[in-house]
Amino acid sequence: MHVVLNSCLQLIEWTLYLQPNFEEESMSINNNALSTYRLLKATAEVAEKSLEGRIQHYRAHLKSEEKELRTYTQKAAADLLGCNNRTLKRRHDNGDFDDLNIKRGANGHYAYTLVNIFAMADIMDIKPDHRAEDDKLQVIVINSLKGGCGKTTSMVNIAAALATTNIKRYRIGIIDLDPQGSSSSFFPSSEHDPITVGDLMRDCIDLDEGETWPEFVSNSFLPTHIPNIRVLPSGMDDFYFEHETATLLKDTSNYEQTRHYHKLLEKVIDPVKDEFDIILIDTAPTLNFMFYNALMASTAMLIPVHPEAVDFDANNKYLKRLGEIYHTVAALGHNGWDFMQFLVTNYVKGNHSQRDIVKDVRSAFGRQVMSYPINHSSAITASSSSFNTIFDQKASDSLASRESLMRAQENIKDVVDELEMLIRSNWQSTQSSLNTPK
């Protein structure tokens, strides 16, 4: 409910912001247009009072609702920690975990949160597997111009799997470049008016005395219900970045124009690059200035492909355009990608036409296609409908069957194992220890 309310609140405030604010006397229009304007103005005045009341209603709910941390059984916690139940029981008996405030469920058994498990790992001297100082921060853009390809759903589930299905404790950042805030909705914050990525890129921030820009940017990446994921949200006002950039480009020198394509990298990512191992960027399905900025900041690209003929054809047209766009980005100083991969999404195994399309995709792009597709799953659909990832829920909490949830989780883990290998192959400190993918 929280995430739905947050989206509604943004939309309502944006609607109010757009109400007309000019006088009829200055309008040179015909009588019918004037009548239409008067009708809309009267409607807006009535709607404004209603909308203001609804804003207060939604804010009241936002303050009281937070996403709960899922809990893990002792066996699940032991599996994550790479030990057995007996080891955890001995640790409990020795009092090693007494200070962690680990609660018990209704059945009397321990119910561990991920915060508990990460703290237990520290006590057990299991070190986080962060990138080394000299390893490159991986900034992965997930982009497609085709709506309905599962771009955001894939991204949030991949992020959750990277964060929760191992004990490496990767420091993961999510940057939501879609002003509609789809990916932000899966990782809601208690902040009802957060700083957005557009705010940081638009040069409209006044720092407090003694505050530094890196500190401000760091605080703008909000904590989430998953302890090692932080999110920089978007907002409806981020549309103004497009308008302002287009206006500024008309009246500036070539050097100043170039700066507008580096803002995400220079103003948002570089100031906090030492705080993350992996940053995932969810883009809007459009080729705008935000997208150019995403490309300039990226070290890799992940392109979702829905295995339907119309979608595959649209994807090929997009790729032709993408090559032209990247030529511009390269000329502006981009250093190239470490990898570009296609990810087949929402794949129905028994669908013969989809199977043929997947064959065509693999024939066309070869090793650039991820080995595992994201399969169609009722568990993913059910979780997404409530703005949850499949890793936010235990089987007992899922609207789908236990079997469906487990299959979906294993499927995403397979995808993430391969993606993790690609990421770590570009970290000098881990190249020698890489395993081959499943």
Q: What is the pLDDT along the chain (438 residues), one digit of tens a residue?
A: 444 445 445 544 444 444 444 444 555 667 777 777 677 767 766 666 665 565 455 445 444 446 677 899 999 999 999 999 999 999 999 999 999 999 998 888 999 999 999 999 999 999 999 999 999 999 999 987 766 667 889 999 999 999 999 999 999 999 999 877 678 888 877 677 788 888 898 877 888 999 999 999 999 999 999 999 999 998 777 666 766 666 666 665 555 566 778 889 999 999 999 999 999 999 887 777 888 899 999 999 999 999 888 888 888 888 888 888 888 888 888 989 999 999 999 999 889 999 999 999 999 889 999 999 999 999 999 888 888 899 987 666 666 788 899 999 999 999 999 999 999 999 988 765 555 444
Residue 421: how many CB atoms within 10 A of its CB? 15
Of the candidates 384, 412, 419, 414, the one whose C-alpha atom is nearest the C-alpha of residue 399 is: 384
Structure tokens at 256: 């100043």
pLDDT, residue 33, reads 72
Q: Looking at the whole model, is its pTM more than 0.85?
A: no
C-alpha gyration radius of the chain: 24
